[in-house]
Chain A
Amino acid sequence: MSNDSKKWYSFNLNKSDKSDSCGCGSNSGSCSDEKPKDGYDQIMDVSMDRRSAFKKITAGFLIGAGAVSSSCSVVSGDESKEKSGIEWDEYFKGNYKLMTDEDKTETVDRLTRSYELRTGKKLNMSSKDAEEDVLFGYAFNISKCQGYMDCVNACVEENNQDRASEMQYIRIHEMEDGKGFNFEESDDNYYHEVPADGHFYMGTQCFHCDNPPCVEVCPVQATWKEKDGIVVIDYDWCVGCRYCMAACPYDGRRFNWKTPEVPEQEVNKNQHYLGNRLRKKGVMEKCTFCIQRSREGQNPACVEACPTGSRTFGNLLDPKSNIRWILENKKVFRLKEDLGTEPKFWYYMD
């Protein structure tokens, strides 16, 4: 049988090159050089194709409406053209969780370039994936914390948090001795000499639950748990419904009610896509265990800043790590354990 015995007409979309290179002698079986796609690839390819189709259609509408005049205008300079081109591509990019490595590099390049165009400064943005055999955990020594709040300041600076609304991921609760862990009566905004007599201090932040309720409820999967246990947010995919915020029992999440402001000279330029890169208004953010640092082997900024050594961070899968010793040898507990969220943030006392 030869090829021309085909009795139907088919559209040969996107495959004009391949059909020639395919030297199949027999008509049975598929070409050997065409790798069969697995399910994931198929789904991804399809959705990407559809997204680009959607992009083109929208573009068509918008050009029709004259809304993209800036990107098409002949008068505007190359830079502004490039800028709007970047904005355009950024708007239509997919969810980071589902991106290929190539897509990740592209979006990181776009973001750094866009920052350069805006400020003339270079960023160092990483898209490093989780390492194998790493599961991050955190331990907090209640006996040691003195309530200085150095961790809070370090966190704000490291993670480029909004200065105007004084956003902070970490809260230090001042508790009265003899009342147990009474959060209702504690104060997380004290301002007097610390440690105050008859008080102890307890820090809270995102606990990076192993069974995170915030991830379950997100309607668009803009937040998820990475392989190394860090719960992250794709700031560009978040639609800002704040359902995760309602679902978090630990007050771990923050919302950008307006455009966050960080003075240019204070911007931490060592960034990660899922970490401390600059956010925009209307998206969620939270502690990422300083993913831009921890993925490299470094301690989060809060751990580094703590002058009392109350904070321990490490790899739960490494039997020789400090955090493992704490879990195995100290009387550790977690907050609201009855909710089944399995936080990876333990408290202990001397």
Chain B
Amino acid sequence: MKTLRVFRSLIKDGFLEVTHGSRAYHIWMAVLSFIMLFGMYNYSIQLEEGLSATGMTDRVSWGLYISNFTFLVGVAAAAVMLVLPAYVLKNIDFKQAVLIGEGLAVAALCMCLAFVVADMGGPARLWHMLPVIGVFNFPNSMLTWDVLVLNGYLFINITIPMYILVMRYQGKVPNPKIYIPGVFLSVFWAVGIHMITAFLYQGLQARPFWNNALLGPRFLASAFAAGPALIIIVLAIIRKFTAFKVPDNTIKKISMIVTVAAQINLIMLISELFKEFYAPTHHSISAVYLFFGLEGKTALLPWIWTSISLNVVATVALTFHKVRSNLKILYVLCGMLFIAIWIEKGFGLIVPGFIPGPWGKIAEYTPSLVEISVTLGIWAMGAFIFTILAKTGIAVELGQIVYKKK
């Protein structure tokens, strides 16, 4: 009963906190709301017309939505990279970063789920997937595994920080015996969500571009580069705009993680390229399309080469300790890496899987405006959720909102 009262009070205080802020904050939230509304309007068009409002066709049947979904699963998984050292290795530096990281994971997961729903042909029939009242094709369908692990991960990532925040809110010290098992679980879980998302594609013998044992590990490596890179950028912004103190050391330590992951990712990329192009088989044709184009169809070329050059430059630069220590440069490099991986794990991965089609037909994919708007709307929703979570979290951490016994 008491917990409930505390919780209610936290919600109330949190609400007050997120509705008050500087002018910049209000503008930021207003812009996000506007983009969200615009996205929702476009989604209503898509609902009305069907998915023909998107650029997808029978040839390329997954596009921007699933690309973003795949990428964001990685971002969500990456939060755990910060959880582990912070709570288990007693590395004090990371504690603030972890709160941000988990907030990011929650936002990313909400976006993932939103992208999946946006991609459905019959969102009204989604209840068919609910266990018990619907039919849940578990364990055969990897999609059902994904639904389970994503929701489980969402649950874990809401409960752990919530527990810590509620304790802090009351001015108590969180009990490690309660949250450390959860932290451990979430570590396994984070690896799980990304591996299972990779298995979603990896398990399809129909698509040789995905049916590749390296896909899972590469997902992990790229996620652990892109996720923390985003966290660094977010921390930099928070440091600038709030009273929340994030020591340089924390950012530098995270940049270490980014660097190692980006290096591993690059090695795997080289391995993949070697396999596809040293002795090209019939199955390398999607890769040829992605990197060089086929029969004059070259829509992905600018994207993938931008991605690869950004990736290589950022990874090489990050490798040098001196470059990395300069925070300004670090932020730029993190931004580059994030964009590079977003392209590579997004439509650089999903679209070529469908091109050429099973009978060799090349039909390209260009997202429609409706699709792009909905995507922007969902990203805005993610940013909105994250801002709310982060603002409340920071306020609690800083002791700005405290539970008052009546």
Q: Which residue numbers of A lie inside 8 Å of B, CB to CB?
A: 47, 50-51, 54, 91, 95, 97-98, 165, 171, 173, 183-186, 188, 204, 213, 216-222, 236-243, 245-251, 254-259, 281-284, 339-341
Contact = CB atoms under 8 A, between A and B. Distances in A.
B356 A184 contact: yes
B354 interface: yes
B144 interface: yes
A239 B120 contact: yes
B121 A241 contact: yes
B113 to A, nearest CB: 13
Contacts of A50: 132-133
Given A188-B361, A221-B137, A258 B58 contact: no
B353 interface: yes
A55 to B, nearest CB: 9
A340 B51 CA distance: 32
Contacts, number: 143
B127 interface: yes
B206 A183 contact: no
B57 A257 contact: yes
Interface string B131-145: 011111100111110
B122 A250 contact: no
Nearest to A240: B121
B361 A239 contact: no
Given A283-B121, A339-B206, A257 B56 contact: yes
A246 B126 CA distance: 19
Contact of B360 (A98, A186, A246, A248): A186
How many of chain B's residues touch chain A, expressed as a range? 35 or more
A242 B121 contact: yes
B205 interface: yes
22 contacts: A95-B134, A183-B360, A188-B361, A204-B359, A213-B204, A217-B142, A217-B143, A217-B203, A219-B129, A220-B134, A236-B125, A239-B122, A240-B51, A240-B122, A242-B121, A243-B141, A243-B143, A245-B61, A249-B358, A256-B50, A258-B51, A282-B51
B264 interface: no
A62 to B, nearest CB: 12
Contacts of B122: 238-240, 282-283
B376 interface: no
A246 B207 contact: yes
Nearest to B130: A54
A216 B133 contact: no
Listed from nearest, the 10 A-B pairs whose CB atoms lie closest are A240-B121, A282-B121, A249-B206, A184-B360, A257-B52, A281-B50, A258-B50, A258-B52, A219-B143, A251-B358
A214 to B, nearest CB: 9
Given A54-B127, A237-B125, A246-B204, A219 B120 contact: no
B147 interface: yes
Given A188-B359, A251-B358, A258-B49, A241 B56 contact: no
